[in-house]
Amino acid sequence: MVTTRRLGTETSETRTALLEATEQLMLDSGYAAVSSRRVAAVAGVRPALVHYYFRTMDDLFLATFQRRAEQALAHQHRALQSAQPLWSLWEVSRDPRGTVLTMEFSALANHRSAIRAEITAAAERIRAQQVEALTDALAAHGVTVDDCPPVVAAVLIAGISVLLALEQGSLGMSTGHRETIAYVEKYLTRLEGERVSSS
């Protein structure tokens, strides 16, 4: 008879604390610094509890990513429903916390094929949501598909954000950043007007 070790429930406060601790460690020190002992220390629990809730570190990383991806999709959906969806998408894409985590999970995916598949699937969902909203938003301002295909706009917005974060965070480089941001925001202003406070 095969017995399966019981894992902690998905709604447990301890499980949530472990996911939050993993995310914080990735933000502070990168994914390579994440260990069960360090996660437990940040979460304020015994190290054995990490493996009570997650059989392997890959399971922990995957659960952390899935939680973050669902939050990102929901946040982006709300932003894209705003009165200024182009401005909102730009601001969402430039969230430093989200950008750093995206880069860390992408680096992790280079070494973990199961996580790579999950990241790709989530990224495609996020991109599809962006393209759908951008199609309507750009058309509403008279921007044709020939002028700027919505999928290209989505890639440019995400790409600029990641590049700026990578250069600033990893290299301490900022040449051209201010000018690039000003250029994008000038274009957004031309389409949607001055940014109305998102708060």
Per residue in 143-176, pLDDT (tens digit) is 999 999 999 999 999 999 889 988 988 789 999 9
141 three-class SS: coil
Do 157 and 187 contact (CB within 8 A), yes or no?
A: no
* Domain boundary assignment for the chain: 7-55, 62-192
Please tell me the predicted confidence (pLDDT) of residue 5: 47
Q: Under a CB-based contact definition with an 8 Å cutoff, are residues 172 and 184 in contact?
A: no
Give mean pLDDT, residues 89-111.
90
pLDDT of residue 170: 79
The percent of residues in the chain predicted with pLDDT above 90, rounded, is: 79
Asked if residue 190 has pLDDT above 50, the reply is yes
Superfamily of 7-55 according to CATH: Homeodomain-like (1.10.10.60)
Look at residue 4 in the predicted model and tell me its pLDDT. Answer: 40
Tokens of 93: 């894409």
Query: Is the per-residue pLDDT at 41 higher than 70?
Result: yes
- Indicate the average pLDDT of the chain: 90
The C-alpha atoms of residue 96 and residue 114 are separated, in whole angstroms, by: 26
Tell me if 153 sits within 8 A of 144, measured CB to CB: no
Q: Residue 68 above 80 pLDDT? A: yes
Show the tokens assigned to 34. Answer: 């994440």
pLDDT for res 69: 93
Residues 154, 178: Cα–Cα separation, whole Å: 20
For the segment 164-191, the average pLDDT, to the nearest whole number, is: 93
Over its C-alpha atoms, the chain yields an Rg (Å, rounded) of 19
CB distance 53 to 14 below 8 Å: yes
d(CA 98, CA 151): 20
Q: Is the pLDDT of residue 82 over 70?
A: yes
